Amino acid sequence: MRIAMIGTGYVGLVSGVCFSDFGHDVVCVDKDPAKIDTLRTGRTPIYEPGLEDLMRRNVEAGRLSFTGDLAEAAAGAQAVFIAVGTPTRRGDGHADLSYVFAAARELADVMDDGTVVVTKSTVPVGTNRMVAQTIRARLDETGRKIGFEVASNPEFLREGAAIEDFMRPDRVVVGAETDRAREVLREIYRPLSLREAPVMFTSLESAEMIKYASNAFLATKITFINEVADLCEKVGANVKEVAKGMGLDGRIGPKFLHAGPGYGGSCFPKDTMALARTGQEHAAPMRIVETVIAVNDARKRRMAEKVIDLCGGSVNGRKIAVFGVTFKPNTDDMRESPALTIVPALIGQGARVAVCDPAGRKEGEALLPGVEWVEDPYEAARDADAAVLITEWNQFRALDLARLRGVMKGDGFADLRNVYDPAEAERAGLRYVSVGR
């Protein structure tokens, strides 16, 4: 099939590349000329393991191309996916849908008769019907007499494992209410039938809600175990043992029960906020979700206090080494990372901060002014009074703790991801603190 993908951000690019690997003819379109130029040279503007190689292979096979011209991309396409950003709107916490509706209006001018317009961006309930209204209104303005369908196809991609998630999904959710839309989406995802991946067809509203409810539930699991970790510290329990014991219950499961400095990223913060706002507007308040948001924000601040406490109540004039500032490993995404709260709080208290992160510097230089960027963790820790592990990149999971202590001036080590064994850290001469242990 021929597919057009509007937007070459994280969701659009990964989806477009993977659809082309299914064997479809995919054209990705973006208004940013610099992005298109980068993609045409075989490089990706985002960090995602395996994506660049997969993209190059499908470009060479003639199944994948990039353009800045929407008319060129939409010509002959049976399906056009809208995969533009929906950031949190300033002031009210809602998802900003301006890019979605702008894409819909522009698409109405160039799409072919019978096109299925598929929203892949994360959007609040009711948005797809508004997309349909937007397209109809524009067609009426211009006098174009064509038919079209609208469908919802939310993404469930984990940054750092997006290709695996796309190729071997737990499920594919499609909101579609006409035979034509269901037929096109079923054909697009037909290659997954060989892997027996379930494709679930729902109403438009149910598909939109599944995305938000899923992310809110996962954010709740993270926040729950973080609060349990705080109690574990007070009563002498070990949160890793508690989480394992909980996770062995098939009704609960082990995933997302890892205590840490709080969730971040491009999805959980904005999606929980948008769901809470939707509930308020419809007089069905999401009290649990509202609490999750507040607790997570407070947790990031508490992690900075944990580091300051480790340094005797003051970091003024002290050097702190920070390992990892992206919101999770295997991505360069800094959005809502706990480090964006922790590091500025330390600097604000007078600390000198040296940061080591395999991929975070590109975004981090603008977001974390005043830090020193270092390529090697031991160099970052040289003469440091304390070290802090915020993001559990693989290279920070196997540090030689004795060597680390040897290059440091002080002996404090705050492991905010519970990577290391406390006894091992203490044998290396470190004053070790973790989360919930």
Q: Is 103 labelled as part of a ligand binding site? A: no
Q: What's the pTM?
A: 0.93
Q: Is 221 labelled as part of a ligand binding site? A: no
Q: Is 317 labelled as part of a ligand binding site? A: no
What integer pLDDT is reported at residue 194 of this predicted model? 80
| Of the candidates 353, 418, 343, 351, the residue with the CA atom closest to the CA atom of residue 381 | 353
Q: Is 178 labelled as part of a ligand binding site? A: no
Catalytic option among 232, 267, 311, 356: 267
Q: Which amino acid is at 18?
A: C
For residues 337 and 194, state if they share a domain. Answer: no
Of the candidates 202, 225, 252, which is a domain's last residue? 202
Spacing of C-alpha 404 from chain mean position: 31
Q: How far apart are CA 322 and CA 312, in angstroms?
A: 18
Q: Do residues 303 and 262 touch, judged by C-beta distance below 8 A?
A: yes
Phi and psi of 291, rounded to 5°? -70, -40
Q: Is 30 labelled as part of a ligand binding site? A: yes
Q: Is 245 exposed, middle or buried (0-12, 13-18, 19+ CB in 10 A)?
A: exposed
> Token digits for 256?
């997302």
Q: Do residues 223 and 295 touch, judged by C-beta distance below 8 A?
A: yes
Q: How far apart are CA 274 and CA 68, in angstroms?
A: 30
- Is residue 216 assigned to a domain? no
For residues 11 and 90, state if they share a domain. Answer: yes
Please count the residues of the chain.
Answer: 437
For residues 33 and 178, state if they share a domain. Answer: yes
Q: Which domain holds residue 247?
A: 236-437
CA angle 296, 299, 305 (to 5 degrees): 160
Counted domains in the chain = 2
Q: Is 157 labelled as part of a ligand binding site? A: yes
Q: How far apart are CA 34 and CA 66, in angstroms?
A: 12
For residues 181 and 243, state if they share a domain. Answer: no
Q: Do residues 369 and 340 touch, judged by C-beta distance below 8 A?
A: no
Q: Do residues 319 and 351 touch, judged by C-beta distance below 8 A?
A: yes
Q: Is 336 labelled as part of a ligand binding site? A: no
For residues 27 and 166, state if they share a domain. Answer: yes
Q: Is 156 labelled as part of a ligand binding site? A: yes
> Token digits for 29?
């379109």
Q: How far apart are CA 155 and CA 362, in angstroms?
A: 26
- Is residue 101 assigned to a domain? yes
Q: Walk along the chain (437 residues) in steps of 10 and give the mean pLDDT of each run.
A: 96 98 98 96 94 97 97 97 92 89 98 97 96 98 96 95 95 96 97 89 98 97 98 97 98 96 94 95 97 97 97 97 97 95 98 97 95 97 98 96 98 98 97 97
> Token digits for 144?
């174009």
- Is residue 94 assigned to a domain? yes
Concerning whether 232 is annotated as a catalytic residue, the answer is no
DSSP letter (8 states) at residue 195: G
What integer pLDDT is reported at residue 195 of this predicted model? 79
Question: DSSP letters of 365-427?
Answer: HHHSTTPEE-SSHHHHHTT-SEEEE-S--GGGSS--HHHHHHH-SS-EEEETT--S-HHHHHH
What integer pLDDT is reported at residue 90 of this predicted model? 80
Q: Do residues 173 and 210 touch, judged by C-beta distance below 8 A?
A: yes
- Is residue 44 assigned to a domain? yes
- SS3 category, 272: helix
What CATH number does residue 66 fall under?
3.40.50.720
For residues 138 and 264, state if they share a domain. Answer: no
- Is residue 281 assigned to a domain? yes
For residues 182 and 252, state if they share a domain. Answer: no
Using alpha carbons only, how large is the chain's radius of gyration in Å? 24
- Is residue 218 assigned to a domain? no
- Is residue 214 assigned to a domain? no
| Of the candidates 346, 411, 415, 403, the residue with the CA atom closest to the CA atom of residue 385 | 411
Q: Is 385 labelled as part of a ligand binding site? A: no
- Is residue 129 assigned to a domain? yes
Please name the residues in contact with 348: beta carbons below 8 A apart, sequence gap of 6 or more.
Answer: none
What integer pLDDT is reported at residue 288 of this predicted model? 98
Strand order across the 352-356 sheet:
372-373, 352-356, 319-323, 386-389, 412-415, 431-433
Instruction: Return the number of other C-beta atoms located less than 10 Å from residue 99's C-beta.
Output: 19
User: What stretch of H or E contains 224?
Assistant: helix 204-235
Q: Is 159 labelled as part of a ligand binding site? A: yes
Q: How far apart are CA 417 and CA 332, in angstroms?
A: 18
User: What stretch of H or E contains 352?
Assistant: strand 352-356
What integer pLDDT is reported at residue 93 of this predicted model? 80
For residues 148 and 65, state if they share a domain. Answer: yes
